[in-house]
Amino acid sequence: MPFSVTEKDYTDGVSIGDVLLLDAAKEELLTVPDKTVPAELANSGVVGASHGWGFFCNRQDRSVRISDFFSPFASKSNPTMIPLPPFTALHACQTENVWNVAMSSSPPDQDDGEEWVVGIQFLGNQLSICSPRRDLRWTNIEIPFGSLLNSNLMYSKRDQTFNMPAPGGNYMCSWDLLFRQENYPKVYELLFHNLPELPQSSWELLDSCLKEDHWVESPSGESFLVKWYSPVSSPLSIFMVFREEETNEGRRNMCYTEDIGDMCIFLSKSEAFCVQASSFPGLKPNSIYHIGRGVAVYDLTAKSVSHFELIKGEPKEIPPSIPYWLPPFSI
């Protein structure tokens, strides 16, 4: 997770700074020193992240660029910068406020020839999709419902589609990479099984919470729907996870589970993702790492939340300001 960027030097119009990254496994900060802040990012804010790449929006002209600036493996003096086509809003839609983003993969090399597609979900009813190294403009799609604040876009590598749960989480919309307009979107009904036995008061509490639905896919292609509940009067989050069992005739059977094995899920304002905990020592299996009201990890077995209260190396005067997880990496 990018924690902050602190400027150290500004000479001849060039800004040099340290990038602070939060290591979720060790709950401490990692410093990537002496990175040149590109002029294109000097007046930009981060509006999304996917596959470890940040989406930076210029505060003046609203242009958006994708960059690997936060990656500790990126060039310190010349990080990759990929401009995106300018946005155009559909009738009665807006492109000022990005809700979340998703990509089919990390950007391939310029001459690789691999298809690479970007999706941006705006607050409201607009979804825009393009292949940045092929398309000069976006394909704009009107979402058949208001995305509001609870439906999140993700890309399924298994199905090669952009997926988005509908508000309420009872349906899922799916768009393939052909961008055909005549039959969009493909809608799946989600049928829920094996619901937990909870007292009526617990269901009433869940009904009163702020809700987000995240569709996430494991490295092996297993799919989960995560329902994220945030009580209005409490900083503690509640999660329910449903594993996709099978798909038939436009329906996807979802089975409630408290066991996702060696997996841990990462939720934030970035595209949701899932990794094997054993591949990154220190990560807690069968858990959900989330950035909402603070940074925390939810244990699915114990149904308990642990907040990252004291982060080793945290500068007291700089609050975390970039609420996006980056996929784990090893240095």
Q: Is the pLDDT of residue 34 over 90?
A: no
> Which two tokens mark 308?
């990252």
**Which pLDDT band holds residue 60 (cuts at 50, 70, 90)?**
confident
Matching residue, tokens 């809608």: 187
Mean per-residue pLDDT, 106-131: 86
How far is the C-alpha of 293 from the C-alpha of 234, rounded, in Å? 10
**Which pLDDT band holds residue 214 (cuts at 50, 70, 90)?**
very high
> Which two tokens mark 171?
């349906």
Mean per-residue pLDDT, 286-314: 83
> Which two tokens mark 266?
């990462």
CA 53, 58, 62, 65 torsion-angle sign:
negative
Q: Is the pLDDT of residue 85 over 80?
A: yes
Q: Is the pLDDT of residue 180 over 70?
A: no
The percentage of the chain sitting over the pLDDT mark of 70, rounded to a whole number, equals 87
Query: What's residue 267's pLDDT?
Result: 94
What is the pTM assigned to this prediction?
0.90
Measure Cα distances from 256 to 121, 165, 224 in Å: 27, 16, 10
Query: What's residue 316's pLDDT?
Result: 47
Mean per-residue pLDDT, 158-168: 90
Q: Mean pLDDT in the chain? A: 85
Query: What's residue 16's pLDDT?
Result: 84
Q: Is the pLDDT of residue 289 over 90?
A: yes
Nearest to 59 by CA among 38, 44, 39, 47: 44
Question: Is beta strand 98-103 parallel, antiparallel or unpaired with respect to 118-122?
Answer: antiparallel
The CATH fold of domain 2-107+114-307: Neuraminidase (2.120.10)
Query: What's residue 247's pLDDT?
Result: 77
- Residue 34, H or E segment: strand 28-37
Long-range pairs for 163-172 at CB < 8 Å and ≥24 separation? 163/215, 164/121, 164/127, 164/215, 165/190, 165/213, 165/214, 165/215, 165/225, 167/213, 168/213, 169/211, 169/213, 169/225, 169/227, 172/215, 172/225, 172/252
Q: 308-329, pLDDT tens digit by residue?
A: 865 555 554 444 456 789 887 7
Lowest mean pLDDT among 30-39, 212-221, 316-325: 316-325
Lowest mean pLDDT among 37-41, 197-201, 223-227: 37-41
Please state, as a whole number, how many other Cβ atoms lie within 10 Å of the Cβ of residue 220. Answer: 9
**Which pLDDT band holds residue 35 (cuts at 50, 70, 90)?**
confident
How far is the C-alpha of 211 from the C-alpha of 30, rounded, in Å? 32
Is the Cβ–Cβ distance between 301 and 259 less than 8 Å?
yes
